[in-house]
């Protein structure tokens, strides 16, 4: 594998921007997804079974769609004691992290003396998509279900694709059982999103859909938005490693390799470094490590087309480029005294991993923040999954007779300016009534 690094220059940002967004959904995917959604909307369960046979190569019956409580109970047996301990450790950290961001209801008085405020309510019913095709993403169970539970969502439905034998990975089901989730469906892809949005005989429709997926899943989420809510449209995984002269080539190589093994083939790997001599040492370590990895061949293919190393000697410029790209994960493999500088300067990353010991895998699995994060430069305007995404905010207003009189004059002026006399009259009548 031969990779050359880029040098900073006037066209660097435009080149990286084109690279960052190159995984955008093509017209063919849009058309396929549109047809799948229409089919599920019209034919319900029969369409789910048909699409599952076509895309997952699994023959299911309608009764197989919902995974039985018995199977969920049995799945716990597939987890070792060490597995359960790891899951519980992650659950505790995720729950603790998101409890700290729980918004509080509040009320106050405005300038008229009226009571105003906000109240928060959990979304009634949510659908969580958990990828399980190439690898069973057990961690995604924790990173979505736990947040919904902390938000006290009453109804949680989980969809996850079966393998060619019609089975869902037992360790994934075990995690769901550990979290006491009972509504789980063996269906994936765009058809699962369509079922959650429109409902079928077996799967009641939800109010909002969450979770990562492939290009077809993301496109389906985009197309059903408005019928239901969606969290965000996370594409193939991304990592940016920002390294200075203190970086350990072995650790840097490991970080670059880790996010390339997710399996879509469209992962993005960025490497910004300020010392020319670091690059060949990192590349040598990549060659050493990749041969021992179970997904080594797939990772190598990702690096051949999805790897962008860039030499940038100025640290401020390095921060500028990182902020522009807005990567999903950003590892700061720099001297401890430089960490705060970059945290202050880089304002768009989905998740910051600070310092040499902090591997992205910590955020992926156990640290606390959800690993469902924006990709494709969308961190410029959106954030990773958080507790508030599972809540609705309702504002309230309460006027009495005195505060209404105080607002009367301003209401009249707005009514005239906007030529909406019925608005003004609705307040005029109240004031006159109370003045009798």
Residue 268: exposure state from Cβ atoms within 10 A (0-12, 13-18, ≥19): buried
**Is residue 328 annotated as part of the catalytic site, yes or no?**
yes
Question: Is 143 strand, coil or helix?
Answer: helix
Catalytic-role residue among 98, 329, 356, 371: 329
Q: How far is 277 from 282, CA to CA, in rounded Å?
A: 9
Residue 429 CA to its chain's centroid (Å): 49
Torsion angles phi and psi, residue 185, rounded to 5? -120, 140
Instruction: Please identify which residue in the block is written with the tokens 């690898």.
Output: 135
Joined together, the tokens standing for residue 205 give 């429709």
Give me the DSSP letters along 191-226. Answer: HHHHHHHH--SSS---SEEE----HHHHHHHHHHBT
Out of 328, 331, 356, 371, pick the active-site residue. Answer: 328
CA neighbor of 307 nearest in space, from 334, 282, 335: 282
CB contact at 8 A, 20 and 268: yes
Instruction: Say if residue 310 is exposed, middle or buried (CB neighbours under 10 Å; 0-12, 13-18, 19+).
Output: buried
Question: Which residues are annotated as catalytic?
Answer: 328-329
């Amino acid at each position: 594998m031969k990779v050359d690094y880029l040098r900073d220059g006037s066209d660097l940002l435009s080149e990286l921007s084109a690279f960052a967004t190159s995984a955008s959904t093509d017209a063919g995917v849009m058309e396929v997804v549109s047809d799948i959604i229409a089919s599920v909307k019209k034919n319900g369960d029969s369409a789910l079974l048909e699409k599952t046979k076509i895309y997952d190569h699994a023959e299911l019956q309608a009764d197989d769609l919902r995974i039985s409580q018995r199977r969920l109970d049995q799945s716990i047996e597939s987890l070792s004691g060490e597995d359960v301990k790891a899951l519980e450790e992650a659950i505790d950290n995720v729950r603790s992290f998101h409890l700290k961001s729980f918004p509080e209801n509040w009320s106050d008085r405005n300038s008229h003396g009226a009571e105003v405020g906000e109240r928060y309510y959990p979304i009634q019913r949510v659908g969580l998509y958990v990828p399980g095709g190439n690898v069973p993403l057990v961690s995604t169970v924790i990173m979505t279900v736990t947040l919904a539970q902390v938000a006290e969502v009453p109804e949680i439905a989980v969809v996850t694709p079966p393998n060619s034998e019609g089975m869902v990975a037992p360790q994934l089901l075990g995690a769901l059982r550990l979290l006491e989730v009972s509504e789980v469906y063996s269906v994936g892809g765009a058809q699962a999103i369509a079922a959650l949005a429109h409902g079928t005989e077996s799967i009641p429709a939800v109010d909002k859909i969450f979770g990562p997926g492939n290009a077809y899943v993301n496109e389906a989420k985009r197309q059903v938005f408005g019928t239901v809510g969606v969290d965000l449209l996370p594409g193939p995984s991304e990592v940016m490693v920002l390294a200075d002269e203190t970086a350990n080539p072995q650790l840097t190589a490991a970080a670059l390799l880790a996010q390339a093994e997710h399996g879509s083939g469209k992962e993005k790997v960025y490497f910004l470094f300020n010392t020319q001599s670091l690059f060949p040492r990192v590349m040598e370590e990549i060659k050493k490590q990749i041969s021992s990895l179970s997904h080594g061949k797939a990772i190598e293919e990702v690096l051949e087309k999805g790897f962008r190393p860039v030499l940038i000697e100025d640290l401020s410029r390095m921060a500028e480029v990182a902020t522009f790209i807005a990567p999903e994960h950003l590892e700061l493999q720099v001297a401890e005294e430089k960490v705060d500088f970059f945290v202050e300067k880089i304002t768009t990353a989905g998740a910051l991993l600070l310092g040499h010991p902090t591997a992205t895998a910590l955020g992926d699995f156990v640290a606390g923040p959800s690993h469902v994060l924006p990709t494709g430069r969308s961190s410029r305007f959106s954030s990773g999954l958080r507790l508030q995404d599972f809540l609705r905010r309702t504002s309230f207003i309460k006027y009495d007779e005195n505060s209404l009189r105080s607002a009367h004059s301003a209401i009249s002026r707005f009514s005239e300016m906007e030529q909406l006399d019925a608005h003004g009259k609705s307040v005029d009548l109240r004031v006159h009534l109370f003045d009798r």
